[in-house]
């Protein structure tokens, strides 16, 4: 059996807040209690939103909190070729198609359909899936800007069996049925950056031999997409723990004392790492 391996994987597109601190501390504690490893991954594919300055500030905040992660830290922006290779495999398998729609096109079409994904966004109505091969090639030859989407129904059919994952946040192992169809044909390579969170996260979880994914409840539904990609790319299955978000019940109490200010602001106001840890229950 591989050694239990946990990761905290923030996106440095802003300052870290208490919610990030909670997730990082929880990962570290669970890793320690399991006698496992605690890794840090910087999810900075979204350049230039994820600046180097924000990354450095984030590392400083995490060190200030007293977190100790294993080196080296994986920075996704340095490994784009890996994500492109995974996308290429899916393209070669006939499971991706280029989508030339603008946000506006999608909004107009989707309004008529009214199907929403688990995050409440309109499900892509499949416009570009219907393009003929000739039309597709002609548009690609003209270098029209495009994203790449997965044909979700085909992907699910290709896997051929219902997917489920183990969710351990209740203290027991619960087998959650995945529901990737609810997402429709999600984008796996964005028009602007050429890749996506979903691809990068599954590739790197496997690459770093992660065994336990401990992250916020807001990503619970996205796990269904990750399971599909893990199956299609023959990557290992992981154990999941989606913790409550700090801005719910606990956050309301906390906001009286520490507020929704960034860790950097709290630090500047004289709040200590011990204050933060105590407030978050560590
Ligand atoms: N980078 C993601 C975020 O900051 C988290 C990714 C994950 O834990 O899977 O929301």
Does residue 122 fall inside a structural domain? yes
Residue 125 DSSP code:
-
- Mean pLDDT value of segment 182-193: 97
pLDDT of residue 121: 87
Residues 198, 139 share a domain:
yes
Q: Please say if the pLDDT value at position 267 is more than 70.
A: yes
Minimum-distance ligand 1 atom for the alpha carbon of 218: 10
Cα–Cα distance for residue pair 185/45, rounded to 1 Å: 21
Does residue 111 fall inside a structural domain? yes
Q: How many domains does the chain have?
A: 2
Grade residue 1 by pLDDT with cuts at 50, 70 and 90: low
Signed CA dihedral, 223, 165, 201, 12: sign only: positive
pLDDT of residue 258: 64
Is residue 177 within 8 A of residue 168, CB to CB? The reply is no
Residues 149, 60 share a domain:
no
- What are 204-230's pLDDT values in tens digits? 999 999 999 999 999 999 999 999 999
76 alpha carbon to ligand 1 midpoint, in Å?
A: 12
Average pLDDT for the chain: 93
Which of 59-73, 107-121, 160-174, 239-253 shows the lowest per-residue confidence on average (mean pLDDT)? 239-253
More confident residue, 10 or 2: 10
Minimum-distance ligand 1 atom for the alpha carbon of 8: 8
Please indicate whether residue 74, judged by its CB atom, sits closer than 6 Å to ligand 1. Answer: no
Token output for 251:
């956050």
Does residue 210 fall inside a structural domain? no
pLDDT of residue 12: 96
Residues 53, 127 share a domain:
no
What is the best residue among 10, 207, 230 to mutate for testing ligand 1's pocket, by most ligand atoms within 8 Å of CB?
10
Number of Cβ atoms within 10 Å of the Cβ of 171: 7
CATH number reported for the structural domain that contains residue 157 in this entry: 3.90.800.10
Residues 154, 92 share a domain:
yes
- What are 235-266's pLDDT values in tens digits? 999 999 999 887 645 555 555 566 567 999 99
Residues 261, 152 share a domain:
no
Token output for 112:
């008529």
Is residue 216 within 8 A of residue 226, CB to CB? The reply is no
Please indicate whether residue 24, judged by its CB atom, sits closer than 6 Å to ligand 1. Answer: no
pLDDT of residue 115: 86
- Mean pLDDT value of segment 118-128: 91
Grade residue 174 by pLDDT with cuts at 50, 70 and 90: very high
Token output for 9:
């994987």
What is the best residue among 5, 6, 7, 11 to mutate for testing ligand 1's pocket, by most ligand atoms within 8 Å of CB?
11
* Full residue range of the structural domain in which residue 275 is found: 1-78+247-282
CATH number reported for the structural domain that contains residue 2 in this entry: 3.40.50.620
Residues 138, 87 share a domain:
yes
Planar angle of CA 36, 23, 164, nearest 5 degrees: 75
More confident residue, 122 or 98: 98
Residues 38, 27 share a domain:
yes
Residues 125, 27 share a domain:
no
Is residue 96 within 8 A of residue 90, CB to CB? The reply is yes
Please indicate whether residue 231, judged by its CB atom, sits closer than 6 Å to ligand 1. Answer: no
More confident residue, 201 or 261: 201
Residue that has been written with the tokens 């065994």 in this structure: 211
pLDDT of residue 218: 93
Residue 174's alpha-carbon distances to 45, 63, 167, in angstroms, are: 32, 34, 5
Cα–Cα distance for residue pair 53/71, rounded to 1 Å: 20
Residue that has been written with the tokens 């219907």 in this structure: 130
Does residue 216 fall inside a structural domain? no
10 alpha carbon to ligand 1 midpoint, in Å?
A: 5
Please indicate whether residue 10, judged by its CB atom, sits closer than 6 Å to ligand 1. Answer: yes
pLDDT of residue 10: 97
Residues 165, 45 share a domain:
no
Residue nearest to atom 7 of ligand 1 (CA): 9
């Amino acid at each position: 059996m591989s050694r239990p391996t946990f990761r905290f994987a923030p996106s440095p597109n802003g300052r870290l807040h208490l919610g990030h601190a909670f997730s990082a501390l929880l990962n570290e504690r669970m890793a320690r209690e399991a006698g496992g490893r605690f890794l840090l991954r910087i999810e900075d594919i979204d350049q230039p939103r994820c600046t180097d300055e924000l990354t450095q500030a984030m590392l400083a905040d995490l060190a200030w909190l007293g977190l100790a992660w294993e080196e080296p830290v994986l920075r996704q922006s340095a490994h784009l070729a890996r994500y492109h290779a995974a996308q290429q495999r899916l393209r070669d398998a006939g499971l991706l198609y280029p989508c030339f729609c603008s946000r506006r096109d999608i909004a107009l079409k989707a309004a008529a359909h009214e199907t929403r994904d688990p995050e409440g966004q309109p499900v892509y109505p499949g416009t570009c899936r219907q393009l003929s091969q000739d039309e597709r090639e002609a548009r690609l030859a003209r270098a029209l800007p495009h994203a790449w989407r997965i044909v979700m129904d085909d992907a699910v059919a290709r896997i051929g069996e219902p997917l489920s994952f183990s969710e351990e946040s209740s203290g027991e192992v619960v087998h959650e049925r995945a529901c990737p169809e609810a997402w429709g044909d999600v984008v796996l390579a964005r028009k602007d950056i050429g890749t996506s969170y979903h691809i990068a996260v599954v590739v790197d979880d496997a690459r770093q031999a992660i065994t336990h994914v401990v992250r916020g409840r807001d990503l619970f539904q996205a796990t269904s997409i990750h399971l599909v990609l893990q199956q299609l790319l023959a990557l290992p299955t992981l154990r999941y723990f989606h913790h409550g978000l700090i801005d719910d019940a606990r956050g309301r109490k906390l906001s009286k004392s520490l507020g929704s200010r960034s860790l950097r602001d709290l630090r500047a106001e004289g709040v200590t790492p011990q204050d933060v840890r105590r407030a978050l229950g560590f």
